[in-house]
Amino acid sequence: NTAGRIHLDGSEQDFIDYDYLVVGLGAETNLELAEGAKEFALPFNTLDDVRELEQRLQDIEDEGRSVSVAVVGGGAGGVELAASVADRLQSTMGDASKGAVKLYVGGSDVMEDFAEDAREVAREALEKKGIEVLTNQRVEKVAAEEGEGKQGKYSVTVSTKGQSDPLEVSYDLVLWTAGQKATPLAGLSPSAEVKTPMTIEPTLRVTDREREFALGDIAGMQFPATAQVAMQQADYCAWNLFASINSEPMLNFRYQHLGKLTTLGSLAGTATLNLPGVGEVTLKGPVASALRKLAYVYRMPTNQQRLKVGSEWLQNPEMWVPPELPKDIKDLEKLNPFVGAPNLDKLFDEKEVKDALQGLYERIQAERGKRV
């Protein structure tokens, strides 16, 4: 007897029976936040989205005209995307005046869930790249305009907090990163309706479904919607699957915030690390960028993938070596990776250290289950 069945593409004939199920479909960009966004704005979630953006930029560049790009969303995703697009336009066009990138932020600052030090570094990087950051802006509508050549233009209607009259601006591309929603889940039987995000127990088991687990953005737990949370949940989920099959006690998920990383260019970024007994320490520049790359490689599923990605990066010196090496002490100071001074007040805090060790122990237990 199986625990349930998944129907593929809504078909009654194509299905997979399962004894245990793990749901980790993640989230998708919410294009329903503004009229016309679903039809005319480009999300940045999948490989197809990347290819579509690459093709659109290439078509505009081939025409030799200037490019105007609107990026909607001031979170880490929007900031990273705006920085990457600005770098791309600078590289391919050579003339900064031919590429304009504007970042629309709904709140009062970029990356509002990051430490102030990291936000400061991000603001400075965006300004240096010539990206105009527009805060307290809500995009209400995206519409198509008649355009010349292969690419049309798009009008963006924006309202500013505290002002009554919306403003309409024209762009070649509108990239959307604002808002996330859980991926819809269909085709799961028994036939009880399954809503997303799913309601789960502290063990990551789906409520009222004994052999089903959920993790990541689709799991209805009050944690940040980040890859870091999902990866930590994966360790616990693997252990709890093993424990459930073998009638062992399961572990309640315990999130350990390790820090936050962003990429602001090939050799720029922020890395806010949460160090037990010290607190948050923010790094910037090439050091932060290298930490982001190392974390990315480390989290690859297999050694073969780690080797492939790492070797490709090593073959591109511009991803690791600054274009200009420091010539004197003043230049060397620019490579200082620290933003502010770390707070050492918690260094000898017994509770802080104890909690960190307890979390480490539970992670080790979960890793054991993952390997078994």
CA torsion sign, 20 to 202 to 298 to 227?
positive
pLDDT value at position 333? 60
Residues 152-191 have pLDDT tens digits of 789 999 999 888 789 999 999 999 999 988 887 765 655 4
pLDDT value at position 150? 46
Instruction: For residue 333, give both structure tokens.
Output: 């100071």
pLDDT value at position 258? 87
- The pLDDT mean for the chain works out to 84
Residues 197-228 have pLDDT tens digits of 788 999 999 998 899 999 998 887 788 888 88
CB 101 within 8 Å of CB 69: yes
pLDDT value at position 175? 97
pLDDT value at position 155? 93
pLDDT value at position 133? 97
- What's the pLDDT band for 347 if we cut at 50, 70, 90? very low
Nearby residues of 133 by Cβ (< 8 Å), 6 or more positions away: 74, 102, 103, 105, 110, 123, 126, 127
CA geometry: angle 348, 351, 357, nearest 5 deg: 95
- What's the pLDDT band for 53 if we cut at 50, 70, 90? very high
Long-range pairs for 315-320 at CB < 8 Å and ≥24 separation? Answer: 318/266, 318/267, 319/266, 319/267, 319/293, 320/267, 320/286, 320/290
Residue closest to 73 by CA, chosen among 53, 115, 45, 52: 45
3-state SS assignment for residue 337: coil
CB 200 within 8 Å of CB 207: yes
Comparing 216-225, 260-269, 334-343, which segment has the lowest mean pLDDT? Answer: 334-343
| DSSP per residue, 173-237 | EEEE---EEEPP--SEESSS---SSBPB-TTSBBTT-TTEEE-GGGB--SS-SSHHHHHHHHHHH
Report how far residue 306's alpha carbon sits from residue 292's, in angstroms, rounded to the nearest whole number: 14
Residues 109-159 have pLDDT tens digits of 999 999 899 999 999 999 999 999 999 999 999 999 865 444 678 999 999
Task: Return the CA Rg of the chain.
Answer: 23
pLDDT value at position 149? 41
CA torsion sign, 214 to 219 to 223 to 227?
positive
